[in-house]
Structure 1
């Protein structure tokens, strides 16, 4: 049974959803699944924009057969060679022997790495600014290296003013029939997954995203068709502004997120006391997370969202509690910057996690580490109430 929808008069969504996959890239939990978007441009020459993951090939072929109604595919545009989008290249080349693959030089190299199939005589090599005419549609190709692989390009359809954006502007979550942003409550139901997708998948490459946004502002874009998540056809500036802020590493909200690692609950109790002191001083919307139970991808998303961070951590084997150390390493790998941070640590005989956490934070760019560190030996005693209040006050003053 076909599962397709009309995007414009000539463009069809022929993508698929996977609600069975537990981990995206075998790493990130996706309890709402994920969509693999692909688009057919039905013109004098039929053009397919990317393919889908191997797990949904059968549905994908059904969607193509239904939409094509016996026609062949003339061009397959490959914007991104990650296997969740390129898995069906070889299958389609066999099914449509006259189909040409439209790709840049780096993409062609990767096709040879992933597949054992000859593309000789069946390729259209493109570079920055090249155009492909399919009849009434003219497709213009713009290179977007490292958003988030080196071969990535995006495609602008001059007729319908559509930007096929590869993985840019994507989000986790399967599409439940409503494939357009104006058919859903994006801020309520999708923004969290969009932020988590950006921060963990694309977050490292802020400079490259800025370069792509600069190219996009020169175009008259009426619709954005990403490879994951809903299609944007209204209020495009809302999501573009999010990408602009995220890629500049600017926090969305002036809020405090407290992330702690506690072994027997004593560090957690100190964090609870800190949260109450902050609230008494007028700080609203405080978030508190246990680094051992909240997935690191959710923590990274919150770190991208919030302006002020508190890391509170038990000393473990003379070092940083392992889940916290993993989070800090992930922050560095994803180029997190421009945050204000306060540090607490705990240890029964040698609390040393704080100094080591500060060292890791100092390896990140543009991080403001507050001067006062709160170090606990086993439990936070009542006689240190004034010290806790001062620790909280420095956070408030920094806001």
Structure 2
């Protein structure tokens, strides 16, 4: 269980969801996910976001226990996505004297999600640099549009030097899960936030001016130590630079022949000294993890069967997702298979050449049905080229 203790006056009141099968109805979460929420107890009491509707009862139980008979003064709304904001209306109905503190964009979007008759009366809209005095604690509001929605803001608490980072620094996995942070944080980042590298860079520059001792995200563990490690990861990811030197071999095979070729290419890469080689089957493996690994490594080889005058759909799906997530600054090699009219390389190249700052290898491997000894010259040529670029 991840340590949720923050301080005697700032407490975790979120909830784990260990039965959710798909996050956002598309990403598998084998170890669930956490919906994080926090309470600041002072002369004025502030609640930092709510949780998903799946955990409404547990959240209110945690909130009531933390309040111990007191009444909250504020609900700070960092992000309106339903996994964090689903209980805003429930909160307003239970605590009608409390104020909602949110960005102007969030207030404008509120009627899309909730029907609150006195919305104007209970909202306090804030902008960049505004503050909220709670007593000994003070929140400073920092706008973070498109990290990863337009209304997002984060908050800095000065006394205890805490950054409430919204979806920033979040990860898949319940707090009860015993797992490495980087893998599921990387998969979360590139599939949820990855398209918005420039806004993340802007937020990181703002955060660099703060003395941060603790990061409290809306998903995943509270970060208290070695914060430079996490910030460095986010800087690398959001600037679209490779995290590791290595090659991902991603293949989509119909009858297994392209798979055999991909595995031989991966073996050849290892034999020729590639620092790291990863391989993924796009027809069976988790697509979100394939996206994660494509961004993690400096080079990518894509191998696919030709299909209906184009490319086998699992590869098309992969390339569409890479394009949508702004894949860039990488070297890519192409491998195609076709029994009578190989065309996968042409289609894959069409995707890749429209991505930013992509170097496409001159050598392409073309297989006619099955890989043969005569094809090894082209395999070696591609491997040598991608290792030397």
TM bin, normalised by shorter chain, reads over 0.9
Measure the CA separation in 1 of the matches of 2:60 and 2:271.
59
Report deviation, 1:47: 0.2
Report deviation, 1:190: 2.5
User: What does 1:61-72 align with in structure 2 at a 5 Å threshold?
Assistant: 61-72=60-71
Measure the CA separation in 2 of the matches of 1:197 and 1:218.
26
Measure the CA separation in 1 of the matches of 2:273 and 2:121.
68
- Could you tell me the TM-score, scaled by structure 2's length? 0.97
Which residue does the alignment assign to 1:91?
Answer: 90
Tell me whether 1:171 sits opposite 2:171 in the alignment: yes
Tell me whether 1:55 sits opposite 2:54 in the alignment: yes
Q: How many residues align?
A: 387
The answer to which of 288-297 and 76-85 deviates more is 288-297
Measure the CA separation in 2 of the matches of 1:53 and 1:204.
24
1:358 partner SS: helix
Alignment equivalent of 2:247, drawn from 256, 265, 269:
256
Q: Deviations over 1:264-323 (max 9, x none)?
A: 111111112212222221224311111100121111100111111000010011111101
Which residue does the alignment assign to 1:388?
Answer: 379
| Cα contact 2:367–2:375 (8 A) shared by 1 | no
Which residue does the alignment assign to 2:104?
Answer: 105
Which residue does the alignment assign to 1:180?
Answer: none
Measure the CA separation in 1 of the matches of 2:66 and 2:266.
56
| RMSD of aligned residue pairs (Cα, Å) | 1.4
Q: Deviations over 1:50-75 (max 9, x none)?
A: 00000000000100111101000100
Tell me whether 1:25 sits opposite 2:50 in the alignment: no
Which residue does the alignment assign to 2:79?
Answer: 80
Report deviation, 1:339: 0.8
Q: Deviations over 1:209-240 (max 9, x none)?
A: 00000000011111100000001111000000
Which runs of 5 or more residues in structure 1 are unaligned? 178-183
Report deviation, 1:5: 4.9
Which runs of 5 or more residues in structure 2 are unaligned? none
2:328 partner SS: coil
Measure the CA separation in 2 of the matches of 1:273 and 1:30.
31
Measure the CA separation in 2 of the matches of 1:359 and 1:82.
34
Which residue does the alignment assign to 1:215?
Answer: 206
Alignment equivalent of 1:235, drawn from 221, 226, 248:
226
User: What does 1:229-308 align with in structure 2 at a 5 Å threshold?
Assistant: 229-308=220-299
1:52 partner SS: coil
- Could you tell me the TM-score, scaled by structure 1's length? 0.95
Measure the CA separation in 2 of the matches of 1:354 and 1:100.
57
Q: Deviations over 1:155-207 (max 9, x none)?
A: 00011100000000000000018xxxxxx7xxx62211100000000000000
